[in-house]
Amino acid sequence: MADGGTEGGAREVVAGEWRGRVRAPAAEETAASVPAPRPAAPLRPDDLPDGLVVADARGIVTCFNTAAERITRVPAEAALGSPLEEVLPLEDLHGQRWWRLTDPYGGLAIRTRQPEKNLLLPGGREVLVSAQYVRTRPRGRLERLVVSLRDTGARRRTERSHAELIATVAHELRSPLTSVKGFTATLLAKWERFNDDQKRLMLETVDADAHRVTRLITELLDISRIDAGRMELRRQPVDIAGAAARHVQAHIAAGRSPGRFLVSVRRPLPALWADPDKVDQVLSNLLENAVRHGGGTVTIDIAPTGGGEGPEGTVITVSDEGQGIPEESMNRVFTRFWRGSKRGGTGLGLYIVKGIVEVHGGWITVGRAPRGGACFRFMLPVALPAHLQ
């Protein structure tokens, strides 16, 4: 089948190649006793999510799919039948013409592909480009050049997220480290000038700032494990009601009024196997947010799952009576760096909470409490270990 210069011919060539890769039925499958399989519809270039551009042995574009039109902003009618270098005037980041550098038609005949590279289209728009050299025989002449185009939007968003993470970490580390450095330098230089109470105050400040740095590093490690899918769980029987009571007692011991907390437990609760440290991390974050950013009574409701709430497990609700979360911010609560209307913290806590709950096989939601505050609900399934199932 010859390469054509029209769109119809181009699509027929590519589709024909892919049809040729479909496995032919074996001889026994063609027997009268076995129904003939229904032929699969051929894959069309427009079905691909990435841009596809095919040029023939003369460098003339014979295929230009819909994704390529979207990425390059060049109509297929204008691209088909035109020289590849005119349709894709690509340049590298140094302003050099990519086709002249790579020379696919006149360069080394041993080349089979060009790895993905970040290149520029007219106007400075970035695009990820890779190419496959199709030859009829090794070291033979180039019969067809297949170019793949991908938008860099997803990569830019990832890079922007990483840059924001680095900037946040640098900012959060600078303040406590500056404090630690200042107090330790002062104590070393003027130890004799301070009384015991002043020394204790400085050392307590250093200890608190060191704890802040340790917590930030722990959050960063949790994020890396969540994003890489490597967070490990050490499942044990967990008394979720007892864990909630411990966290409330810790806040009361720190000076909070006992009347500000209400713990409601609807028994019987199913046996819960989870990682106790991770569960403590979730409860600590949600309760601390409710105390710090909410108002009124902080309520912790613990109950078994009801109908329509998924597998057997326990549902925990943490709510307050403060101003709550604006409706337009609800869908961003569990993203990185979300801090709401008040500053403070790294904005990573709820992102980690969501990751921990989902690693356990549960879910978490946010909404508005009956009295107007924020309401976080999460479910932890029973998840018995394999040897007990």
How confident is residue 332, by pLDDT bands cut at 50, 70 and 90? confident
Q: Residue 150 phi/psi, 5° resolution?
A: -135, 140
pLDDT of 8: 42
SS3 content of the chain, % helix, strand, coil (to 5): 45, 20, 35
Average model confidence (pLDDT) for the chain?
84
Q: Which two tokens stand for residue 170?
A: 């640098």
pLDDT of 10: 39
What percentage of the chain has pLDDT greater than the value 90?
50
Rounded Cα–Cα distance for residues 175 and 159 (Å): 25
pLDDT of 149: 94
Geometric angle at alpha carbon 158, from 153 and 160, rounded to 5°: 90
- Greater confidence (60 vs 173) lies with 60
Write the CB contacts of 1 (distance below 8 Å, at least 6 apart in sequence): 12, 13, 16
Q: Per residue in 2-38, pLDDT tens?
A: 444 444 443 333 333 333 333 344 444 444 455 566 6
Contact present, 323 and 303 (Cβ < 8 Å): no
Contact present, 156 and 172 (Cβ < 8 Å): no
* Beta strand segments in the chain, E: 51-55, 61-64, 113-120, 126-135, 142-151, 236-237, 261-265, 273-274, 298-304, 313-319, 363-368, 374-381
1-5, 180-184, 201-205, 362-366: least confidently modelled range: 1-5
Q: Per residue in 29-85, pLDDT tens?
A: 444 455 566 666 788 888 898 999 999 999 999 999 999 999 999 999 999 999 999
Q: Which two tokens stand for residue 362?
A: 């549960």
The DSSP code for 307 is T
Q: Per residue in 264-276, pLDDT tens?
A: 999 899 989 999 9
Q: Which two tokens stand for residue 191?
A: 């130890």
Q: How many residues does the chain have?
A: 389
